[in-house]
Amino acid sequence: MIQPAQTDADLRDLNTLHLRARAARLQPVDDAADLPALTEAARDTGGPVLVLGGGSNIVFGRDIDGTVLHMRTRGIDVLAHTGSDVRVSVAAGENWHDWVACALAHGWHGLENLALIPGTVGAAPVQNIGAYGVELIDRLAHVDAWDMVDRRWLRLSAAECRAGYRDSVFKRELAQRAIITRVAFSLTTEARVRCDYADLKRELAARGVAQVTPQHVFDAVCAVRRAKLPDPAVLGNAGSFFRNPVLTADAAATLLAAHPDAPHHPAADGAVKFAAAWLIDQCGWRGTRRGDAGVHDRQALVLVNHGGASAGELLDLAADIQASVQARFDVRLEPEPLILR
């Protein structure tokens, strides 16, 4: 049964920055099969349509004079299990971290490095989420979605999602039209691990782990993230506010000649990815607070709402951070969350 829409709905508790915003209509989505009817109704009532999952990657800089579809769908289904290979389909409304923990509990490995990332499963392919050497695309089988413009169901293979660093077709050609309903993962029952990132190595060593298992990786990732990042339930934030900049080989060589200690990693096609947190930290922003808008005192990449910050105050702070990094390092930082102005 389709739940009725709420009018003039408060969105503050539906975004992890806890910014004040309202929606003309807030429509729960508990069954993906209802999307054709719900999107038709949203079109008939007028205004934009926004799809909202966990609200962990969005900055509400304005009210929504239209319909917010709040994805609350649930369900985890095994599609195939052949030898050590497992293919599992997960509903878009499932909590991402809970799904990773569920997969581990079932002995389905490959997602452990992505533990404790906030948000829902449906949002994960949009950003091609990644952490500690693993990206979603590494384990993506396919994505199911409803195209509310052409009014048809889609199934996109991993290749068709055209994933890049915090990028995908859902942020480009299919933006504002494809509503992800399920995500299928290719996992394995073999205990393969990726633990070559420095933070993970240090945490595993501190725990005295010699033979690393997927459970060890999961636990270490959770510990590292909890030590560095604030809990949105306690301190409003949207996780990493800026993407790590990817520079051409020439630009990277220039930056490293002046700052040889800048943390960096190889990227595709000879490019080099630099740590945005280090760049911001070098400009003295970590721990800064302007009213209730601030920069986290343990992770300069995270902007926080101490309680009453407005979107404008947070975005002004972000702009000043961008300007200082540009002036000192000649690097342009790009915001990671969706900003609605």
Which region holds residue 284: left if phi is over 0, alpha if psi is between -120 and 50, else beta?
left
Phi-psi sector, 47: left (phi>0), alpha (psi -120 to 50), beta:
left
Name the β-bridge partners of 247. 272
Annotated catalytic residue 336: yes
The C-alpha atoms of residue 20 and residue 242 are separated, in whole angstroms, by 22
Cα dihedral across residues 250, 198, 302, 213: positive or negative:
positive
313 is catalytic: no
Q: Are 183 and 143 in contact (CB under 8 A)?
A: yes
Active-site residue identified among 139, 203, 240, 286:
240
Exposed / middle / buried, residue 95 (Cβ in 10 Å: 0-12, 13-18, 19+): middle
Does the annotation mark 168 as catalytic?
Answer: no
Helices H / strands E in the chain, number of each: 8, 20
Q: Which entry of 25, 56, 94, 166 is annotated as an active-site residue?
A: 166
CA–CA distance, 265 with 104 (Å, rounded to integer)? 28
Contact 48, 177 (CB under 8 A): no
- Residues designated catalytic: 166, 240, 336
